[in-house]
């Protein structure tokens, strides 16, 4: 039987054993501090829900104001030359729990996880509006249901760089 | 003997433990098949949804460590090929290591793709690569796919690490629920159970009123939550003790079947049930199945044992002297105690993976119907 490279010598076995377990424990404990508990083996979801409503902060006639983005995630905006362009939230955000707007959806891995990810999603979308000369920031107003109870109303914002 | 020399001896035994690696080959087939399906799903996602980094993603690695679109497609193909090689037995351990490492890299490329079941699969595949899982079921070798017994006996310390990882999955899961007041109090399950009547009605099976009253009651959800947490703790720890191992594995199988029926958890249930093979005693054919040749029912049972005894628990042989009035088949356990009838069936179910969920009910029936001496 030819030896495999992965047949460890007796001296290396304890090293692999200890290194693996130490890494696993460190990752497991570290994961508890992360909002989405990635690598934390939290196998079953909570039953929380969230409803995302999106707004744009726009500059018009020297004043900034909030404009609601339609529930289908679309909006139109002008570029510097005045040409209108269409945008859609879901063109960038394919991720299930965050791609549905205006209705309650299940918050996989809990509310903290989805709010954490939503902040990054806002930042991502606002950085990918090349011809949108009006939008100064994207704002998400989030209603939450925490395991059936009415939860906090959360406002997240990502400014245009 | 001093304490330190005794512990040195224990640790030396632990790391140099040599056992029959036959079952590790079966475990490799299961894990590599799951690894292949996991990779296939990523390939389909790439084809249907496009390259993940072309839209919103959340890399854990620095962005410039991510592969390009073509590179990602290539690596996905490589991962699927590695899983296939591991399955058929072409450098199976190296292939498992490659496939699992690539999978972990993909998870680090985008945390939105992270799911605990995928992570658990990759870790278990990684650990299996360090075990001698390449000594049986090398399918590319045709009929001589399994090495003789002497060559199969090899150091199996990585199997222990695999077992620890399985326990860690359950401990992590149970710990998370225990620390969550809504989980341990039953609120989370109550909300899930509340959807059950509508779910079953939509599937054409309206629940009777008493069942609706039961599943939508808070006490039932509270009881179910505590049972789930205790079950996971029992599975995690009970698998390590010979006296409780059988019961904890049975509970685990039933637990995962119920999860598979009630929730969408990708490959998780299959993975955990497959991982239980690592807890099966590695030595083969320590039990005996005897049957009366020419007796239709006994021969049918013998065929069933031959086809489905995937863990090679039974040494099968015809009865030397079958009594015309007595049982036509017997099952002997490791201690050599013979049984037939319901107890015999329970002992078969105990060892045959597909029948394992029936073990406890059969054993209980056998126990209750046993005549007092």
Is there a contact between A8 and B130 if contact means CB atoms under 8 Å apart?
yes
Are both A38 and A77 inside the same structural domain? no
Q: Give residue B36's pLDDT band: very low, low, confident or very high (50, 70, 90).
A: very high
Inside any domain, residue A111: yes
Compute the average pLDDT of residues B206-233.
93
Residues of chain A with pLDDT under 50: none
Give yes or no for B45 touching A (CB within 8 A). no
Task: Report the percent of chain B where pLDDT is more than 90.
Answer: 78
**Domain match, A105 and A132 both:** yes
- Return the pLDDT at B1: 46
Mean pLDDT of B166-175: 92
Task: Look at residue A135 and tell me if it is in a domain.
Answer: yes
Examine the domain organization and report whether A63 and A112 are in the same domain.
Answer: yes
Mean of per-residue pLDDT scores for chain B = 92
**Whether residue A26 is found in the same domain as residue A58:** no
- Least confident piece of the model among A105-114, B11-20, B161-170: B11-20
Cross-chain Cβ contact A8/B182 below 8 Å: no
Q: Assess whether A56 and A23 both reside in one domain.
A: no
Which positions in chain A have a beta carbon within 8 angstroms of at least one beta carbon in chain B? 1, 4-8, 10, 13-14, 16-17, 20-21, 24, 28, 36-44, 46-47, 91-95, 98, 117, 120-121, 124-125, 146-148
* Residue range B227-259, pLDDT digits in tens: 999 999 999 999 999 999 999 999 999 999 988
pLDDT at B7 over 60: no
Looking at residue B307, its pLDDT comes to 96
pLDDT confidence of residue B83: 98
Domain shared by A140 and A104, yes or no: yes
- Asked if pLDDT for residue B4 goes beyond 60, the answer is no
What pLDDT does residue B203 have? 85
Residues A71 and A123 in one domain: yes
User: Hey, are the CB atoms on A36 and B111 less than 8 Å from each other?
Assistant: yes
pLDDT of residue B254: 95
Note whether A92 contacts B114, CB cutoff 8 Å.
Answer: no
Q: Does B58 touch chain A (CB under 8 A)?
A: yes
Residue A61 lies in a domain: yes
Does residue A1 belong to any structural domain of this protein?
no
Instruction: Flag whether A99 is in a domain.
Output: yes
Q: What is the pLDDT of residue B174?
A: 92
Please give the interface size between A and B, counted as residue pairs whose CB atoms are below 8 Å apart.
Answer: 112
Structural domain that includes position A15:
6-43
Whether pLDDT at B260 is above 90: no
Does the structure show a pLDDT above 90 at B278? yes
Is ipTM beyond 0.90? yes
Mean pLDDT over residues B64-71, rounded?
96
Tell me how far apart the alpha carbons of residues A36 and A27 are, in angstroms, rounded to a whole number: 13
Higher pLDDT, B262 or A95: A95
Tell me if B161 and A17 make a contact (CB, 8 A cut-off). Answer: yes
pLDDT band of B373, cuts 50, 70, 90: low
Please tell me the least confidently modeled range out of A27-36, B89-98, B166-175, B346-355.
A27-36
For residues A62 and A38, membership in a common domain is answered with no
Is pLDDT larger for residue B44 or for residue A80?
B44
Q: State how many domains chain A has.
A: 2
The answer to whether residues B137 and B1 touch, using CB atoms and an 8 Å cutoff, is no
Query: What domains lie within chain B, and their CATH numbers?
Result: 17-155 (no CATH), 171-279 (no CATH), 287-369 (3.40.30)
- Mean pLDDT calculated for residue range B278-289: 95
Q: Taking CB atoms and an 8 Å limit, are A1 and B147 in contact across chains?
A: yes
Q: What is the pLDDT of residue B294?
A: 85
- Determine the pLDDT at residue B310: 95
Q: What is the 3-state secondary structure (H, E, C) of chain B?
A: CCHHHHHHHHHHHHHHCEEECHHHHHHHHHHHHHHHHHHHHHHHHHHHHCCHHHCCCCCCCCHHHCCCHHHHHHHHHHHHHHHHHHHHCCCHHHHHHHHHHHHHHHHHHCHHHCCHHHHHHHHHHHHHHCCCCCCCCCHHHHHHCCCCHHHHEEECHHHHHHHHHHHHHHHHHHHHHHHCHHHHHCHHHHHHHHCHHHHHHHCCCCCCHHHHHHHCCHHHHHHHHHHHHHHHHHHHHHCCCHHHHHHHHHHHHHHHHHHHHHCCCCCHHHHHHHHHHHHCCCCCCCEEEEECCCCHHHHHHHHHHHHHCCCCCEEEEECCCCCCCCCCEEEECCCCCEECHHHHHHHHHHHCHHHHHHHHHHHHHHHHHCCCC
Residues A99 and A149 in one domain: yes
Q: Are residues A14 and A54 in the same domain?
A: no
Residue B153 has pLDDT above 70, yes or no: yes
Closest chain A CA to residue B94: A6
**A59 in any annotated domain:** yes
How confident is the model over B23-47, as a mean pLDDT? 96
Based on the fold, state whether residues A88 and A31 are members of the same structural domain.
Answer: no
Q: Which residues of B touch A10 (CB under 8 A)?
A: 15-16, 155
B6 pLDDT higher than 60: no
In a domain, A89, yes or no: yes
Domain match, A39 and A98 both: no
pLDDT of the residue at B195: 86
């Amino acid at each position: 039987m030819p030896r495999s490279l992965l047949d460890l010598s007796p001296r290396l076995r304890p090293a692999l054993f200890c290194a693996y377990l130490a890494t696993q424990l460190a990752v497991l404990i570290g994961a508890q501090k992360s909002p989405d508990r990635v690598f934390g083996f939290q196998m079953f979801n909570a039953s929380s829900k969230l409803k995302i409503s999106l707004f744009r902060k726009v500059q018009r006639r020297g004043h900034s104001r909030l404009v609601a983005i339609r529930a289908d995630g679309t909006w139109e905006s002008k570029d510097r030359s005045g040409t209108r362009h269409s945008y859609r939230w879901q063109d960038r955000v394919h991720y299930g729990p965050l791609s549905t707007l205006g209705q309650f959806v299940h918050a996989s891995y809990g509310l903290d996880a989805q709010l954490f990810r939503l902040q990054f999603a806002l930042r991502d979308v606002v950085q990918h509006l090349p011809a949108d000369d009006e939008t100064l920031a994207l704002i998400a107003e989030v209603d939450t249901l925490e395991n059936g109870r009415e939860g906090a109303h959360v406002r997240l914002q990502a400014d245009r760089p | 003997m001093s304490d330190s020399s005794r512990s040195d001896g224990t640790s030396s035994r632990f790391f140099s433990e040599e056992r029959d690696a036959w079952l590790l080959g079966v475990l490799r087939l299961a894990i590599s098949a799951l690894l292949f399906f996991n990779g296939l799903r990523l390939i389909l996602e790439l084809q249907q949804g496009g390259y993940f980094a072309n839209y919103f993603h959340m890399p854990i690695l620095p962005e410039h460590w991510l592969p390009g679109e073509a590179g990602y497609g290539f690596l996905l193909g490589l991962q699927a090929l590695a899983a296939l090689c591991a399955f058929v037995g072409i450098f199976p351990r190296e292939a498992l290591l490659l496939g699992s490492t690539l999978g972990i890299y993909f998870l680090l490329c985008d945390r939105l793709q992270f799911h605990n079941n995928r992570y658990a699969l990759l870790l278990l595949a990684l650990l299996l690569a360090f075990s001698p899982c390449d000594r049986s079921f090398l399918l590319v070798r045709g009929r001589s796919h399994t090495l003789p017994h002497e060559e199969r006996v090899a150091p199996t310390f990585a199997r222990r690490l695999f077992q620890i990882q399985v326990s860690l999955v359950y401990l992590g899961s149970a710990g998370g629920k225990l620390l969550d007041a809504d989980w341990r109090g039953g609120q989370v399950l109550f909300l899930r159970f509340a959807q059950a009547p509508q779910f079953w009605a939509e599937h054409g099976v309206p629940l009777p009123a008493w069942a609706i009253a039961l599943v939508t009651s808070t006490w039932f959800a509270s009881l179910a939550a505590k049972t789930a947490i205790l079950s996971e703790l029992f599975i995690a720890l009970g698998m390590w003790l010979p006296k409780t191992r059988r019961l904890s594995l049975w509970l685990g199988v039933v637990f995962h079947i119920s999860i598979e029926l009630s929730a969408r958890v990708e490959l998780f249930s299959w993975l955990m049930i497959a991982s239980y093979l690592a807890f099966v005693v590695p030595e083969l054919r320590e039990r005996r199945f005897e049957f009366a040749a020419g007796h239709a029912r006994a021969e049918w049972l013998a065929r069933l044992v031959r086809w489905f005894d995937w863990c090679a628990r039974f040494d099968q042989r015809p009865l030397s002297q079958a009594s015309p009035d007595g049982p036509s088949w017997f099952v002997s356990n490791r201690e050599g105690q013979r049984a037939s009838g319901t107890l015999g069936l329970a002992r078969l179910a105990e060892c045959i993976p597909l029948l394992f969920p029936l073990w406890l009910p059969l054993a209980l029936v056998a126990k209750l119907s046993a005549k007092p001496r």
